[in-house]
Amino acid sequence: MSNKPRTVAEICREINANCDRISEIASACEKEKRNRTEAEDAEYASLVRSNDMNRMMLQSMQRPANVQKTSVQRESMRILRENLRANRSTTVMLVREDTGTSAGGAETVSTGDETVTTSDLLGSGIIPVQQQTLLKPLDEGLIFSKVGVPFRTGLAGDYFWPTYEGGEATINGEKDELKATKIPLSKLKASYDRFGTMIVATRESLTQSAGLLQSIINTELSDRFVRAINHVQFSLSKVTGAKNTEGPFSSTKNVVNIGAVPKLKDFTMVKAKVFAKGVPSDGCAFVMTEGTKAMLEATPVDAGSGIMLVQNDHLAGFPVYCSHFIGDYNVGFGSFQHNPWGQFGQVSIIIDPYTEASTNSVRFVANADFGDAVLRPEAFVLAKIATA
């Protein structure tokens, strides 16, 4: 007798065979309207013990993992209905599943020792429960709510702000006549661009995922708008394809150059450059990459000091937020309430099953119009740290 451990497929096939034999015994008793004989009782008890032992073996072979509960698939329900009609018991086994297919196209279940197709489990009373961890793309997310950027949705027509030049009262004698002055009015308009994205998926992938893939696609469509807006907001130049939308640091002339070893005074002068223009400090923040932030977290305020330039996510008294779009060694500072954004109209999401029907694919297309305006360019300064 071989001492080689049985594989999952072998155990499943034995359970399947035992269940078929139990079904035969039950059918014979029902047809002949009788109870089991002594021989059948002994055989039935042996089959039940064998199945119990096999299921214990399957449980012991399962790899430990953090399991996220998922809904039972259509295939599982089909197995359950077939087992009920065949008078077979049903056991739900948690089997670690990786994505992949067998040579015949069947879905595969990886247990570490062997790859098992779901067809091996059919009829055995065992339902494979998918255990998948969805890894979303690394994303910093839309940080408008953090830095204080105004964002309005559902806009129509022109989105503009009236502006005027401020004046100052004069000091006059008791009977001096005042000169009439006017308030010159103008307006700042938010011009928008069309943002769009498309994802194509085959019908098979949509069907086999039982709605999971479509849910992922719906989330990804909105996330792509988020990443594009972040890109425009913090890029130092116009993003490819953009005609009207442009962030406050794009091609800015308000630049402060900092040495390779930054000092607290450098960043104090950066914020002073903004405040010198009469910009209030409300809503001001620093924006930099995670790499630049890490460098400043290891740069002491002065020699021998245990206090670093960035501590508790603050620099020179103001919060620090991160976006990789601004680039390493660049630090943006400003009052982001002076750079509002707007979404014009509605976000259009079209599911198109016709255009690529010849390849059995479905298109998910999303379009939306977004626009921004830098109301006060002087409210933003870009600091450039010299590289060693």
Q: 58 with 157, same domain?
A: no
Splitting the chain (388 residues) into consecutive groups of 10 residues, what average pLDDT does each group show? 70 84 87 88 89 79 45 56 58 46 42 44 46 45 63 65 53 68 54 87 84 83 86 90 90 90 93 91 90 93 85 92 92 89 82 88 88 88 90
Q: What's the pLDDT at 64? A: 45
Angle, vertex CA 195, rays to CA 193 and CA 198, nearest 5: 155
CATH number at residue 156: 3.30.2400.10
Pick from 74, 98, 128: which residue ends a domain? 128
Q: 199 with 59, same domain?
A: no
Q: What's the pLDDT at 61? A: 65
Q: What's the pLDDT at 95? A: 43
Q: 100 with 208, same domain?
A: no
Q: 22 with 140, same domain?
A: no
Q: Which of 104, 98, 341, 70 shows the shortest CA–CA distance to 232?
A: 341
Q: 112 with 152, same domain?
A: no
Q: State how far the Cα of 329 lies from the Cα of 383, in Å rounded to an integer.
A: 8
Whether 372 maps to a domain, the answer reads yes
Q: 212 with 94, same domain?
A: no
* Lookup: tokens for 2: 């071989």
Judged by DSSP in three states, 76 sits in helix
Rounded to 5 degrees, φ, ψ at 362 are: -120, 135
Q: 237 with 376, same domain?
A: yes
The residue segments making up the domain with residue 172 are: 134-388
Q: 30 with 106, same domain?
A: yes
Judged by DSSP in three states, 181 sits in coil
Looking up tokens 């390493």, which residue turns up?
328
Whether 41 maps to a domain, the answer reads yes
Whether 3 maps to a domain, the answer reads no
Q: Which of 269, 385, 246, 262 shows the shortest CA–CA distance to 328?
A: 385
Pick from 67, 102, 128: which residue ends a domain? 128
Q: What's the pLDDT at 129? A: 44
Q: 138 with 104, same domain?
A: no
Whether 1 maps to a domain, the answer reads no
At 369, the amino acid letter reads: D
Whether 114 maps to a domain, the answer reads yes
Q: What's the pLDDT at 262? A: 92
Q: 67 with 30, same domain?
A: yes
Q: 210 with 343, same domain?
A: yes
Pick from 128, 159, 189: which residue ends a domain? 128
Looking up tokens 């954004």, which residue turns up?
341
- Report the mean per-residue pLDDT for the chain: 76
Judged by DSSP in three states, 52 sits in helix
Q: 238 with 282, same domain?
A: yes
Whether 256 maps to a domain, the answer reads yes
Q: Which of 270, 222, 252 shows the shortest CA–CA distance to 326?
A: 252
Do 339 and 247 form a contact (C-beta atoms < 8 A)?
yes
Whether 331 maps to a domain, the answer reads yes
The total number of structural domains in the chain stands at 2
Whether 231 maps to a domain, the answer reads yes
Q: Is the pTM of this model over 0.75?
A: no
